[in-house]
Structure 1
């Protein structure tokens, strides 16, 4: 996918997410006021947090999609990971407050009402959320955007969260009064787990964690397909937003001319870049005699031998 198409679909996702989130917030606020149920209030707080996060996400995406400039030669892709880390912090704060609310309601119950109306409104929110998640997953397949993944993780959980609220309101309506407080606490614990997973993913990008073993293996395999290559050494990879960065040393015959080695490196860079949607590949050629034991030797040749 081209950079322009990536921008287009990520921005469309931002607009759709924000619009849907605003409608859901209005519906959940109505349900919370009508029922006075702690689980409905927890669901409203989660939706309100989603609006805040989606707004910040939209702002961060506009910055992250800016091309590289003189001050940011590697681009602005890490803005997505920074915003995802903020989302994790917001989720953690909301989860702690909701956990307190659930425990408080368990020991000090408060009267609730209009439960049938609350159930109906939550059903509508569930349908809207499910629609949004399906669209987001389709966009993720096209873009692999970390910000859209973060949003989708929230709203995927919201589908189950809404169903849990419906179950809690139904149980309270059938005289199982403790269900409201227990469900609120469970929602809080779920939000804590989501925040933890999101924080780990964000830190993976911010701390320049290596690509997966399978992706690194793909890089090595595609380079070993070149007949002139004796091995790959010092392979380093990282990712910032959609952009993948790869750098390595390519071991070639001592007898090759500089011009021939240059052509092989160009070919190798294009092959590696083709493995990813958007990649910045830097390959340095070295004579094989300089690195007799490379990190990834070519198995079908004797390391260090000359053609």
Structure 2
């Protein structure tokens, strides 16, 4: 009963902080968008326009993210026995598509302005707005990093990718506006191209991680090793076989066989399996564990030993 209560508490905690992250992200994203819009109108800068385009995509994606999270956080039901966590990965994949489209569109606009040499205006105003946006973004990034450490949410990670890149963008925009004030107008367009490149890279990394969840990829090798080593601390466990894992949102699914001595009683084997489940749930806050107790005489371990003897 204590294990069930602990899982309920952890799930409630996850939902609470992910929702708080959504509210905070929407508030700051809208504020930054309005600030950058005023800078675009005042400066006529390609780099500021690139930063504004990215902020627009961030806000759109954050709104969609918030809506999808409400679905992803629903508990398992009759039609979704493993929960709705994969909705986070679907949203992350859509975010990658949005980022790619925005970057390509912005890249086209930037190249069209390379030969126009339009004057950049009110540079000091643009720089102050950029500094303010950078401070707001830094506040959001620090909050999101803390929430990710607490929840491991893929959706919040996806948001963090955007806003962490915004910090770099704001620094680049500041440099571009300063150099534009020194009559290096071409740098303004170059910075816009660099921002597009970073957006494309971020979209690729985000899509790669989302596909890992959607295609039920195994947990990383170091985590598989940690699972095996943790279980083998029980002296009665001879080996861990057929270890299969996957992740959907905050939920980690683990399936395996424990090789045990043939002469153990059913009660003794049951106690060992129960202890193994507790060990795995201590490693992962929200784990679904399926363990099969395998007699040594029927295990792969015995077959391998016989092959070596031959």
Q: Is contact 1:232–1:294 with CA below 8 Å preserved after alignment?
A: no
State the Cα distance separating 1:285 from its structure 2 match: 0.9
Aligned with 1:46 (options 46, 54, 64)? 54
Question: Which whole-Å CA distance do the structure 2 matches of 1:162 and 1:201 have between them?
Answer: 26
| Structure 1 unmatched runs, 5+ | none
Question: Are residue 288 (structure 1) and residue 296 (structure 2) matched?
Answer: yes
State the Cα distance separating 1:108 from its structure 2 match: 2.4
Question: Which whole-Å CA distance do the structure 2 matches of 1:198 and 1:292 have between them?
Answer: 38
**2:233 alignment partner in structure 1:** 225
Q: Is contact 2:241–2:300 with CA below 8 Å preserved after alignment?
A: no
Residues 1-307 of structure 1: pairs in structure 2 closer than 5 A:
2-293=10-301
CA deviation string 1:89-144 (max 9, x = no partner): 00000110111122111122223211111111111111100111111111111111
| SS of 1:248 mapped into structure 2 | strand
State the Cα distance separating 1:294 from its structure 2 match: 7.0
Task: Provide the TM-score with structure 2 as the length reference.
Answer: 0.93
| SS of 1:245 mapped into structure 2 | strand
Question: Which whole-Å CA distance do the structure 2 matches of 1:294 and 1:5 have between them?
Answer: 44
Question: Which whole-Å CA distance do the structure 2 matches of 1:225 and 1:177 have between them?
Answer: 65
Aligned residues: 299
- Runs of 4 or more off by more than 3 Å in structure 1? none
CA deviation string 1:175-216 (max 9, x = no partner): 001011111111100100000010111111111111111111
Q: CA RMSD in A?
A: 1.7
| Structure 2 unmatched runs, 5+ | 1-8
Q: Is contact 1:249–1:284 with CA below 8 Å preserved after alignment?
A: yes
State the Cα distance separating 1:291 from its structure 2 match: 1.5
Question: Which whole-Å CA distance do the structure 2 matches of 1:222 and 1:124 have between them?
Answer: 48
| SS of 2:132 mapped into structure 1 | helix
Q: Is contact 1:233–1:294 with CA below 8 Å preserved after alignment?
A: no
Between 86-95 and 224-233, report the one with greater CA deviation.
224-233
Question: Which whole-Å CA distance do the structure 2 matches of 1:153 and 1:184 have between them?
Answer: 18
**2:4 alignment partner in structure 1:** none
| SS of 1:293 mapped into structure 2 | helix
Question: Which whole-Å CA distance do the structure 2 matches of 1:257 and 1:303 have between them?
Answer: 25
Q: Is contact 1:115–1:170 with CA below 8 Å preserved after alignment?
A: yes
CA deviation string 1:225-281 (max 9, x = no partner): 112211111000011111100000111111222232222212211111211111000
| SS of 1:63 mapped into structure 2 | helix
Task: Provide the TM-score with structure 1 as the length reference.
Answer: 0.94
Question: Which whole-Å CA distance do the structure 2 matches of 1:26 and 1:234 have between them?
Answer: 54
| SS of 1:23 mapped into structure 2 | helix
Question: Which whole-Å CA distance do the structure 2 matches of 1:289 and 1:97 have between them?
Answer: 63
